Structure 1
Amino acid sequence: MSCKQLVLDDDQRFALMKFRRSVQDVIQSNHNDAFLVRWLRARSWNAEAAEKMLRQSMKWRLQWEVETKLKDWIPPEAIQLYYPSGICGFDKDGAPIIVVPFAGLDIVGLLHSVSRQDLIRTTIQILERVLKMAAETGANNVLVIFDMDGFSLRQYAWRPAGEFIIALLQMYEANYPEILKSCYIINAPRVFAIAFNVVKKFLNEYTISKIQIFKKDPKKWKAAILSNVAPDQLPKHFGGELEDPDGNPRYVTKINQGGKVPKSFYTKKLDENSLSQDREYVTAVIKKGDKITLDFVVEEEGSFLRWEFRTEDHDIRFGITLKDADGNTTPAVRHGRVSSHQIDENGVLACQAPAIYTVTFDNTYSLLRNKKIHYCVYVAPPINKINILPTEEESDLSCLPEKVATLGL
C-alpha cells in the first residue's frame, strides 16, 4: 500500500520517511508503508518512539521464536479442545473475521492444565495466522466478534486469571498495534461494564475507538455486523448463512466454542512439579518488613534476564530496576504484588548493556507475615551465542518483555 493510498499529510509522510530510514536494519521486505504506519500511529507519529517500540517488538519476536519454532509448534490437547476462537471468513474489504465465544473461555481450567506460555504461544499463532491472511487480501487488518453471552466475572476473581488476561492485552498492544479494523462485543451483560472499565485502561484510544458494544439485542448487533460482512462469510448464529453439516448455526467446525476444561486435563499441583528442574533454585525466607535484592551485571548487548519463582501461602511484591552506564536508574519491570503462591511467576527480559539489573522480592508491605520463596534468576547469553536449541523447560521461561502480571484486577 502506497503513501498516497494511506492518505497521509505532509508531516506524516515526513515521519514515515524518517522512521523507515531509522529501522532499515531490522525491517523485512514485506514491511511496507502500511506496516510502518501502524507503529507510527501507535506512537502519535513520533518516529523516535515508534522506532523504540518496533525494536522492542523485534526482540520480543526473537524471544518467542515467532519466525522459527513457533510456526510448527502444536498446542497441547487441552488448548486445542477448549481454547475458544475461530476464523469464519472475510469482511467486505478482505479483513479476516475472528470469532471468540468468550464465555467459553475457562481460563481457570486452562491455567491448571497448561502453562501460561503455551496459552500466549497459541494467541500469537492465531494473530500471526490472521495477519498473514490479511496480507494476502491486502486488508492489513482484522475484524473481531466477541460473543459475551453467558459471561461471568466469577472466574476472574481468581487473581492469576485476571493477571493473564491483562498480560495478553499488553502483549497485543505492544506487538500488534493498529491491526484492528472493527470489534463487535455482542450480548454483553450488565456486569461486563465492570470488566471493560478495567480492560480499557490497557488499550490505546485507537483500539477503543474501533470497539462497539451491544447488549442482548440481536437485531441491532446483527445489523451492525452485516453492514461490514456478507452473509456467506458469517455463521447463522450471527445473522449469516454459514452452518455445520449437521445444521449447527454456531459453525463449530471452524469456531471452537471452548467450554469447561475437565479436571482430567489438570496437571499436578503447581507447588509439586511446576518449577523447572534443570537449574538450581534458591529457597529463602523474607522476613516481615524486609526484602531481598539481587544484582546482575549485564555486559553483552542482547542478553536476557530470566526468572522463575513461587512463594508459599502468600503473595510477594516483585520488580526489576535498570541502572545504565551513565548511572541513570529506571524501572525495567514495574514493581507490584504478584500472586506467586497460586501460580508460578516466570518471565524473560531483553537486556541492554552495559547495565546493572536489580531484581527485588519485597515484603516490606507485610507487617505480620514472613514469606517463603523459591526462586531462580539468571542472565542468559544473546541468542547468537547459544550453540544449541533451548530445552522445553527453558522455552517455558519466555514471557513478555514488560511483565504485567503485577497489575492484577
Structure 2
Amino acid sequence: FDVDAAAEMLAAVLEWRRGYPDSAGARALGLRPVVDILGGVTADELQAYYASRYLGTTDRGGRPVYIERTGIVDPDSLAIVCGIPALVHLHVAQLEGEQQMRLLRATRAAGRPIVDMCTILDLEGMSMSLVNGNTRDYFGQISRIDSDNYPETAGKLFIINAPSVFSFAWRIAKGMVDARTVGKIRIMSASDPWREALLEAIPPESLPVEYGGTLELEGGCWPASKTRQVEFGGKIKELCEELAPVAEGERVRYKFHSKGGGMTFDVAFVPADGGAARPLVKAVKCDKMVVCEHWVAAPAAGALRATWKPSRASGRVLFVRVEREAEVEAARAASAETAAIIAAELAAGVDGAARTPAAEAAKA
C-alpha cells in the first residue's frame, strides 16, 4: 500500500469534486433535479433512449441493485435530445446523489458499511450500430471519471445476454483491466444460465420476475415511456393522432424527432360541437435528427388532431411525445421532489433514520 500515492490520488479527487462541473462542485450537482440537469428532459423521457433504474432492493451481500438495458441504448437520439455533456453530468449526479442515498439506506439496513453496488447490464438487442462516435464519447468520458474519482464502487457486475462480438472484445480488453476488477465481472450470453447466476447473488424477492426472481414491480421492470416509436413503411404512410378532450385554453406539447429522413407536421382543432376542423399548425417541416417541439393551445373545448407525414415512408422512424401542460409540470414537480428527498437523506447521514420525526417522537 503506497501511502504517498494514495494521498496524491485523494487530493486530486477532492480538487476535481470541488470544481466539477463548475465552482458549485460535484456534490451540488448530485442534489439537482434530473429535469434541470438534462435541460427539461424528464426521467421518463430519458427511459425511452436509456432504460435504467435502481431496484430499491439489495443483493445477498447487502449491496443496492442497479440494472440497465445497455443493449438497446439509442446513442444518436440521446445526443440530440439530451446532449452528451448533460448525460455525463447526470452520471456524476447519480453517483453523488441517488447512489449515495441507496448506499446509506443499505448501510442502515445491514448495520455495517455498504460502499459498493451490484449492477446488472442487459445487452439483449445489442447491435453494432450501438458502437458509434456518440457511444464512444459518452462511455469513454464516464469510464475515465469513474476510474479516477469513484474507484471500488462496483461490488459485483453481471453482463447478461452478451452477443458473441462483445464476449470476443472482452477477451482482448480484460488484459488492460486490473485483476481485482476483472474478478468482479461475470459475462454471460443468452444461452448461459444467467438467471441462475443472478439468483446466486440476489435473493429472488429482490430480483424482478423478468430476470428470474419473484419481485413484481408496478408496470413491470421496464414501464412503457410516454415517448413512442413509430416505424413508417408498408401500410403505415403517416401518423394521425387525436387528443381529446381538451379544454379551452389548454396547452399541449408535441415533441418529436425522426431518423432516416424529415417529415411535415400539422395540428388541427376539432370543435366539441361537431363543427369543421381548422388548422392551428400548418405543414411545419422538420429535418431528420432534429428535435422539434411545438406548444399548441386549444381555442375552445374539443380535440387536437396531429399528423406526421414523412417525405418518404420507407426507412423513416419517428419518436414522438405528446403531453398536456399539466403533465409536464407534474413531471417537473416529481423531479424536484425526488431531489429534495435525496438531499434530506444525504444531509441526515448514516444515522439519519434515527432523526426522523417518528423516531424522535419515540425517543421522547
TM-score, normalising length: structure 1: 0.48
Match for 1:84 among 51, 60, 63? 51
- Give the superposition deviation at 1:99: 0.5
1:67 counterpart letter in structure 2: R
2:142 pairs with 1:172: no
Contact 2:123 2:162 in 1 (8 A): yes
Stretches of structure 2 that go unaligned for 5 or more consecutive residues are: 36-40, 108-112, 232-254, 259-285, 291-364
Distance in 1 of aligned mates of 2:9 and 2:230: 37
Residues 256 and 193 of structure 1: CA distance in aligned 2, closer, same or farther (over 3 Å):
farther
- Give the superposition deviation at 1:48: 1.6
Stretches of structure 1 that go unaligned for 5 or more consecutive residues are: 1-44, 273-409
The answer for the alignment partner of 1:234 in structure 2 is 207
Rg larger in structure: 2
Distance in 1 of aligned mates of 2:227 and 2:8: 37
Contact 1:153 1:195 in 2 (8 A): no
The within-5 A match list for 1:209-358 is: 209-217=183-191, 220-245=193-218, 248=220, 251-253=221-223, 264=256
The answer for the alignment partner of 2:10 in structure 1 is 54
- Give the superposition deviation at 1:201: 6.6
The answer for the alignment partner of 1:10 in structure 2 is none
Distance in 1 of aligned mates of 2:194 and 2:228: 24
Distance in 2 of aligned mates of 1:188 and 1:228: 19
Distance in 1 of aligned mates of 2:31 and 2:216: 29
Deviations 1:167-218 (A, max 9, x none): 2111111111111111111111101124435764764332222000111135
Deviations 1:95-140 (A, max 9, x none): 0001011112111210122222211122123223223322332321
Distance in 2 of aligned mates of 1:66 and 1:97: 23
2:116 pairs with 1:141: yes
Match for 1:184 among 158, 162, 165? 158
The answer for the alignment partner of 1:118 in structure 2 is 86
Match for 2:65 among 94, 97, 109? 97
Residues 85 and 142 of structure 1: CA distance in aligned 2, closer, same or farther (over 3 Å):
same
Corresponding residue pairs, total: 223
Provide the secondary structure at the position in 2 that maps to 1:225. Answer: helix
The answer for the alignment partner of 1:68 in structure 2 is 28
Residues 228 and 234 of structure 1: CA distance in aligned 2, closer, same or farther (over 3 Å):
same
- Give the superposition deviation at 1:227: 1.2
Provide the secondary structure at the position in 1 that maps to 2:34. Answer: coil
2:27 counterpart letter in structure 1: E
Distance in 2 of aligned mates of 1:165 and 1:257: 26
Identity, % of aligned positions: 24
Residue range with higher mean Cα deviation, 190-199 or 180-189: 190-199
Distance in 2 of aligned mates of 1:130 and 1:202: 27
Distance in 1 of aligned mates of 2:172 and 2:230: 26
Contact 1:141 1:181 in 2 (8 A): yes
Contact 1:86 1:256 in 2 (8 A): no
Distance in 2 of aligned mates of 1:56 and 1:237: 42
Runs of 4+ in 1 over 6 A off after TM superposition: 255-263
1:264 counterpart letter in structure 2: F
Distance in 1 of aligned mates of 2:125 and 2:16: 35
Contact 1:92 1:230 in 2 (8 A): yes
- Give the superposition deviation at 1:230: 0.8
Distance in 1 of aligned mates of 2:156 and 2:226: 21
Distance in 2 of aligned mates of 1:201 and 1:213: 15
1:188 counterpart letter in structure 2: A
- Give the superposition deviation at 1:264: 2.1
Residues 91 and 122 of structure 1: CA distance in aligned 2, closer, same or farther (over 3 Å):
same
The within-5 A match list for 1:3-82 is: 45-62=1-18, 63-64=20-21, 65-75=25-35, 76-77=41-42, 78-79=45-46, 81-82=48-49
Distance in 1 of aligned mates of 2:256 and 2:172: 33
Distance in 1 of aligned mates of 2:83 and 2:177: 25
2:83 counterpart letter in structure 1: S
Distance in 1 of aligned mates of 2:229 and 2:172: 24
- The Cα RMSD (Å) is 3.5
Residues 210 and 161 of structure 1: CA distance in aligned 2, closer, same or farther (over 3 Å):
same
The within-5 A match list for 1:360-375 is: none
- Give the superposition deviation at 1:79: 2.7
Contact 2:160 2:187 in 1 (8 A): yes
The answer for the alignment partner of 1:362 in structure 2 is none
Residues 264 and 165 of structure 1: CA distance in aligned 2, closer, same or farther (over 3 Å):
same
Distance in 2 of aligned mates of 1:163 and 1:202: 19
Residues 230 and 256 of structure 1: CA distance in aligned 2, closer, same or farther (over 3 Å):
farther
The answer for the alignment partner of 2:273 in structure 1 is none
Provide the secondary structure at the position in 1 that maps to 2:143. Answer: helix
2:152 pairs with 1:152: no
Contact 1:142 1:182 in 2 (8 A): yes
Contact 2:29 2:93 in 1 (8 A): no
Distance in 2 of aligned mates of 1:211 and 1:168: 18
Contact 1:86 1:100 in 2 (8 A): yes
